[in-house]
Chains A and B, each alone.
Chain A
Amino acid sequence: MTNKAALLDDETMSLADYLSRGGRLTSPDNVPPRYRGELLRLMSSFVDSELAGSAGFADAINWAPGLKERIAASRITLEKVDHAERVLDLMSDFGTDKALYNKAHSWSARLPRDTHVDPKRQGGDMRLSVFHYPLQNWTDAVVMNLLMGLATVHQLQEQCLTSYQPLGEVFRQILPREKRHMELALEGLERLAGDEATAAEARASVDYWMPRVAETFGPAQSARFERLHQLGLRHTDNETLRTAWKADAEARLAGLGLA
């Protein structure tokens, strides 16, 4: 890092051009104000979702029907906090107080299951709306974890291309582990689908979670997407991502006879 000690003084370009051509920003020092705001908003939405997701999933450890499942649930609960911390460390570079951030909200708080949470909801923490809904039991936790885990994989694949290089690096480390969480859910659901009673329970959970996870992709027409796209912070629009996720999820559920 140096300060504009550029080699070729006449070779300057606007930041908008640089970003639109796939340029990367590398530290808080070269991030302009509006980029900073959008980047931090994006990072805190991820952090809050991971913290809330982990806090909500902690109950599943004690619902687990066997040791293998208990280990899987513990691992998911642990690693989601670790993922939150990795991104929170990047936010700390911008001034975020990491210790206080953890205490700022109740990550395990949930709303009643039949409430409708506006996905655009503003206020409190920045978790995705789906993490405001409570889990009911083991089957419900497995289904939610599969559907949301799959959504996370689709969303992170896109986010790995982010123009903020340190975040792209962290997401590339996180992606395979989030993918593993989704696969653990898939393995769990395979076992549940084999039994008629739990299969029926799983189908009901799929009906409950499908639309709620779909909402996390955001509105089809989004001014914010356009803005983030110009900054290189987003690349694939909400509807395209949602469609790809839905097809993927339906194919996997069909494979288990749960579609």
Chain B
Amino acid sequence: MARFHSLEVTDIRRDTRDAVVVTLKPSDADRDAFDFTQGQYLTFRRDFDGEELRRSYSICAGKDEGCLKVGIKRVEGGAFSTWANEALKVGDRLEAMTPMGRFFTELDASKAKNYLGFAGGSGITPVLSIIKTVLAREPKSTFTLIYANRQTSSIMFREELEDLKNLYLGRFSLIHILETESQEIELFTGRIDPEKMEMLFRLWIDAEEVDTAFICGPEPMMLTIADSLRKHGLSDDQIRFELFASSQPGRARTRAVSASAAAGAGTCEVSVTLDGTTRSFTMEKDGTAVLDAAIANAMDAPYACKAGVCSTCRAKVIEGEVEMEVNHALEDYEVRAGYVLSCQCIPVSDKVVISYDE
């Protein structure tokens, strides 16, 4: 089960007006656990007014930098990113899970590969980690980065990328696409759309030479790029997406789910929401799990192991009390937020409302 470790903030550098780069140091005991792979991310947790928030940020350091760094761009109304940009100080400690994510390919020093990267805004963070690692560890490979931003002042890691260009002359090429600033070459102004992709392929990129393409940015941009890459002959296993986290729990509301009282006799009015449809039925409080009752009532609720192990049947209790007999899959914070394993979930109160849609 995922576990949090305490990391020390050893440096904070302001990168743009609304982005900081935070350097973190794990304890000696945790050092191996934080030995990341390029392109991975860290998930942090912090209490805001007694409520736990979790946020993930990509590592922007290369494998050979000997440190752990994440880039955090402030999001309008984002509690964690605002706090990191405005209040976080050197010497503070952050709670983080060990690195996760699969936005990378295996490297081989003897190979000469051509990589293509597309980054939109803060989507640069994992791509930067990949660029630095690839250039250092695959000396015969090249990397071309197409980097889209609104304007020059919002470009994250601008200087660091220029330095890389000079350090790896001829192996790293960089094209900035700026939405609202005109540049010498007209192609590099505006948004990345299908026409711009066509022009890029005609003038700058030889699709046949590309081994792997990495894309991280807003969804529409990623789709446009992926469509165009496929059209130019790249297969799905050559195209690597990294998506912004979008469905993370927002403010975790604390609620008591487990009841101390054992399930009493009688019946329970259960209301279950699945795919936007709510169905109500009455079930006996005889130790039957809510999942089984929902299935008996012809609902196609998701489940697999029925042993409290796999978490396929996760649902949220909106109202009422239930008791979860076994839980090997949900974390404490999920339970506090009201999530249950419906295969292990016995009604306690006379009315229970659960949803598979939240």
Contact = CB atoms under 8 A, between A and B. Distances in A.
Partners in one complex: yes
Interface of A: 1-9, 11-13, 15, 18, 21-27, 29-34, 36-38, 40-41, 44-45, 48, 91, 93-97, 100-101, 104-105, 122-126, 160-161, 165-166, 168-169, 172, 223-224, 227
Contact of B81 (A5, A23, A122, A172): A5
Contacts of B11: none
B120 A6 contact: yes
Main secondary structure of the interface of A (DSSP, over half): loop
B121 A41 contact: no
Given A1-B41, A1-B58, A101 B314 contact: no
Contacts of B248: 3, 29
Interface stretch (B28-36, B108-116, B122-130, B261-269): B122-130
B275 A3 contact: no
Contacts of A125: 304-305
B102 interface: yes
Nearest to B247: A32
B179 A223 contact: no
8 contacts: A1-B58, A6-B244, A18-B223, A24-B226, A30-B247, A100-B307, A104-B307, A126-B305
Nearest first, the 6 A-B pairs at minimum CB distance are A7-B121, A37-B302, A44-B304, A40-B312, A5-B122, A5-B73
A18 B334 CA distance: 27
Contact of B73 (A2, A124, A126): A2
A166 B220 contact: no
Contacts, number: 210
B302 A94 contact: no
Nearest to A26: B243
A178 to B, nearest CB: 16
Contacts of B313: 37
Contacts of B191: 8, 11
A96 B310 contact: yes
B243 A6 contact: no
B56 A40 contact: no
Interface in B49-83: 55-58, 71-76, 78, 80-81
Interface residues of B, number: 78
Given A3-B245, A12-B219, 7 more contacts: A1-B103, A1-B243, A3-B80, A5-B244, A6-B120, A33-B247, A40-B302
B218 A12 contact: yes
B236 A160 contact: yes
Contacts of A123: 306
Q: Which of B55, B227, B303, B311 has the most CB atoms of chain A within a 10 A radius of its CB?
A: B311
A30 B243 contact: yes
A74 B59 CA distance: 42
Nearest to A123: B306
A2 B56 CA distance: 6
A161 B236 contact: yes
Contact of A8 (B218, B241, B300): B218
Contacts of B219: 12-13, 18, 23
Contacts of B80: 3
Interface in B302-358: 302-307, 309-314, 316, 328-331, 334, 356-358
B304 A126 contact: yes
B331 to A, nearest CB: 7
Contact of A100 (B240, B302, B309, B357): B309
A7 B81 contact: no
B203 interface: no
Q: Which of A25, A27, A168 has the most CB atoms of chain B within a 10 A radius of its CB?
A: A27
